[in-house]
Every structure is written in structure tokens, then in C-alpha cells.
Amino acid sequence: MRHLHVYAVVLLVAFALVYARVVNAYWIHVAIVSMIYGILAASWALLAGYVGQFSFAHMAFASLGGYTSALLVQWYSVAVPLGMAAGLVLSALFGSLIGWVCLRMRGPYLAIFTLAFSEIVRIVLLSEHQVTSGPAGLRVAPLLQTPSRVPYYYVALGLLALCLTVMGLVVHSRWGLFFRAVREDEEAAGASGVNVVRAKILAFAVASGFAGLAGAFYAHYIGILTPELGSSDQMGLVVAMAVIGGLERLPAAVGGAIGVETLQEVLRSYGPWRFVLFGALLLLTMRFFRNGLLAPAWQRLLEARPVGSVLTSSREVRKGHRA
């Protein structure tokens, strides 16, 4: 039982590293797409679960990142990794702008504003045929010059680990405390000295930047990009993944994304009925498991105490009683 959570993380990492060597190309593709959605779900959970800002423009930022990278590579022959970095930066800048504009918006007003922004982005991408190729789809240069999906799997795994590490450092820093304070009571946080403006803008920038990175990687992996990436259907899927996994734990949101995407493929033979199942699962989660299905288990794992520390604490308690 000693350091149980460390062992669990090591086992998960080991499984992820050998996964690509033991499954076929189809399930490698499912895993890659799941990790892309994992980045999107975790970054949205950072914004919604930690700051309490429910934005529906997340997939619009993924589209911005994808089209920015694709067009820079196509027009200016920029290296694909630089194009992806540019997509991340542009998405973060637009996210900062949205965060600044929405400083005084909450609840349904923020949701409606970000939904409108998302639709504007989608319609612009759909209408500008000469630039984006419209609904026909923009051909995108591949990230890796290889027919195998295994290298893409490891790149996706590395990007997911990088995003989780950076977001984890943010939420465990003092900014994470500021985020939670803003989520609980914005006025009280401001009165206590929290810079609410900076906290909101930083949260939007980080979440939107990683959404742009996920969209850019998706574009260079799939090879074609359409405006439907930023549709409300895709946004609803990301929200469902984060809610089912758990909004207040970033790894749980990733687990929700991987679980939902895997279930979609397993139940594909049931056609539209699989969406009924996901709807029922989402309703049950929101009714009976407000913290998600995976977040409580992750929390218990993190709180598992080593045997030695339990024995030490019990001795201290007995000494206190004798004193």
C-alpha cells in the first residue's frame, strides 16, 4: 500500500507506452483521437471546473489553432511544429481577448456570448472558400512522413503529458488558489486581494491555447480540416467527456474523454442508439455523481496514505492521550 498513487501512475504510464505495440492500427487511431479529446476535455475542465467559467467557444479555438497551423505551412512553408506553436499562441491570444471581454459576464450570458463567437468562427471558416476550402475541407500537410500511426501515438501521448503537466503546475500554484477563489465567490475574492481580471484572462489563455494545440495536432494527423471541427456537436461532446470524467480533476477529465471515445467505437454497431446511452449516462452522472465518475476514485487514490505514515500518526495520537 506504500505510495499507492505513485504505483498507479507508473502502471498507467507503462501501459500507455506498450499499448501501441500490442493492438492493431484501428485501435491505435482510436487512442490517438481519444488523447486529442483528452487535451480538449482537460483544458475545458480547467476553465469550467477550477474557475467556474462555462465557455462554449472551446472548439472554436481548436479550429483557429488547426487552420492557423495548416495555412502557415501551406502558404509560407513553415515547419509543421512551428505552425502548431503558432496555432497555440494565436488561440491563447484570442482566448485572452474573450476572457477580457467577458469579465463581467457569468452564467447564461457568458455561455451565449461564447456560443455566438463559436458560430461566427465556424461560419467565417465555412464561407471563405478561397482560404479555407469551405465544407470541402482544407488539405493539411502531415506532421510525420510515415504511413505508420505508431509515431503519431507517441507524439499524442507526449503532448497530453505536456499539457497535463503545465496545467497541473498552474492549478497547484497560487494561481490555482486564485482560480478556486474566483469560482466560489468573485466579489469576495476581489475583496481579499485576488486580481480577478488577471485570473480570468490567464485561465482563458491557458485553456484556449491548449485547445488550439489539440486542434493543430488533429489537423496534421487527420490530413484534412473542415469547419465542423468547431460545431456545437463537437463542443457538446467535449463537455460531456469532462462532466462524465470529473470537472475538478484534470486526469479524470482525460479519463472521461478516453472512456467516452472508446465506448463510441465499441458501440458503433448500435448506430444512433449509442448516443441515447451517452445521454442517459450524462444525466445519471449529473444527478448522482456531481463530481464525475472518475474524479472520486482519483481523489481517493491521491489520498491513500503510506502504511508507515499511518502508524506514525497513530503513535502520535497515543502519546497525546498519555500527555
pLDDT computed for residue 181 by the predictor = 94
pLDDT computed for residue 64 by the predictor = 97
Strand partners, 138: 225
pLDDT computed for residue 302 by the predictor = 60
For the record, the C-alpha cell of 205 comes out as: 489563455
pLDDT computed for residue 267 by the predictor = 85
Residue pair 201/96 in contact (Cβ under 8 Å)? The answer is yes
pLDDT computed for residue 14 by the predictor = 85
Could you tell me where the DSSP H helices lie in 46-142? 51, 58-76, 80-101, 107-127, 129-132
Q: Which residue has the cell 488539405?
A: 139
Residues 206/103/57/289 CA torsion (nearest 10 deg): 80
Name the residue among 172, 264, 164 with its Cα closest to residue 214: 164
pLDDT computed for residue 3 by the predictor = 52
- Give 10-residue mean pLDDT values along the chain (323 residues): 59 84 92 96 95 93 97 96 97 94 83 93 93 93 93 96 94 93 90 91 96 97 94 92 89 92 87 81 79 70 50 41 43
pLDDT computed for residue 298 by the predictor = 62
pLDDT computed for residue 310 by the predictor = 37
The number of residues in the chain equals 323
pLDDT computed for residue 317 by the predictor = 35
pLDDT computed for residue 319 by the predictor = 44
Domain limits, the chain: 4-312
- pTM for this prediction: 0.88
Q: Which CATH fold would you assign to the domain 4-312?
A: ABC transporter involved in vitamin B12 uptake, BtuC (1.10.3470)
pLDDT computed for residue 292 by the predictor = 76
pLDDT computed for residue 300 by the predictor = 65
pLDDT computed for residue 307 by the predictor = 42
pLDDT computed for residue 7 by the predictor = 67
